[in-house]
Chains A and B, each alone.
Chain A
Amino acid sequence: MSGTLNRPPTTEAEDVHEDPDLTLQRIINAKLVESGEKELLKELLRERLIECGWSDEMKKHCLSFARKNGSNNVTLEDLINAITPKGRASVPDSVKEELLQRIRSFLA
């Protein structure tokens, strides 16, 4: 409970193989976070998804799912599972392309 940072017990420790791809991904991810670019990208994506109606659609989907299954019973996991397939599939191509473009230019 104090401020000390304990590593969690490694009861189910997997052997952590250092995949070179994964290492690169981590480095890039850290760069994205540090530079604040990740937050900007997420904000941009969020904005675009609101503009095109994707967000409203997902919310509607969530809330009707919650209603069907009882607002007090439905778990966060249920909701995520309920909207993930549709959410991933229904991003407009133009939005995806715009984001990919920005990610590529960051990586370049």
Chain B
Amino acid sequence: MSLSDDENDSMSLNSQLPAHLFGDLLDSIIIDVASECHRAARLGLDRNLELEEEEMRLSAEARAMVVDATNNGEVNGKYIVDIFGQTHPSIANDIFECMNCGQSIMAGRFAPHLEKCMGKGRKARLKARRSSRLAQNRSARGSSVSVHSQYSSTSQLSNNTPVRIMKKMNDFGERFSAEISKPIHLVNPLVP
């Protein structure tokens, strides 16, 4: 295991020495790695590489096969029937009553309705801000503001990360919402 020097002595020392020292350092780290792995192997601390490799193999196989696959009951990305043999419209057409205003509404259009109905959402918030600037005491959405602040104080449910993400994503929301504020059925067909 001697990693002895194989350098050419005839080379000038000045150019040789740094490279030589670098080689020493590198060899020393190579031995560190080998020594660490030797210990892990002997103590049985090396993790289950078989399992990991088998999982890798299955995934690679799956990716190779799925590229051209049109199985799974889909044709050209469109479903034929679900597991129960049913088909579904692209916009859910159940009709039920809005629990806020009692109006009959179609399932697939419920969220945008409810947003307006409850006076929530981005537009509502903007409106609220505007109106509160105009008439601070007459804001109709005072309750939503208080819930908001209460919410943000309880984020210690999780570690800090999600909270950070939450803020970040809200920023996106504001940034990108302008681009998707068209009526829902005109949005990219991928959008549910």
Contact = CB atoms under 8 A, between A and B. Distances in A.
Given A62-B34, A64-B49, A87-B30, A42 B25 contact: yes
Interface in A65-108: 66-67, 71-72, 74-77, 79-84, 87-88, 91, 96, 99-100, 103-104, 107
Interface in A14-61: 21, 24-25, 28-29, 32, 38, 41-42, 45-46, 49, 55, 58-60
A42 B1 contact: no
Nearest to B28: A42
A20 to B, nearest CB: 9
Determine the main DSSP class of A at the interface with B.
helix
A38 B24 CA distance: 10
A91 B26 contact: yes
Given A55-B33, A63-B49, A80-B1, A24 B21 contact: no
Contacts of A29: 21
Contacts of A79: 34, 37-38
Interface residues of A, number: 42
A46 B29 contact: yes
Interface residues of B, number: 32
A103 B9 CA distance: 19
B5 to A, nearest CB: 10
B81 interface: no
A62 B33 contact: yes
Contacts of A55: 33
B21 A71 contact: no
Given A49-B29, A77-B1, A66 B46 contact: yes
Nearest to B38: A76
Contacts of A38: 25
A77 B35 CA distance: 9
Interface stretch (B11-19, B58-66, B145-153, B177-185): B11-19
Nearest to A41: B25
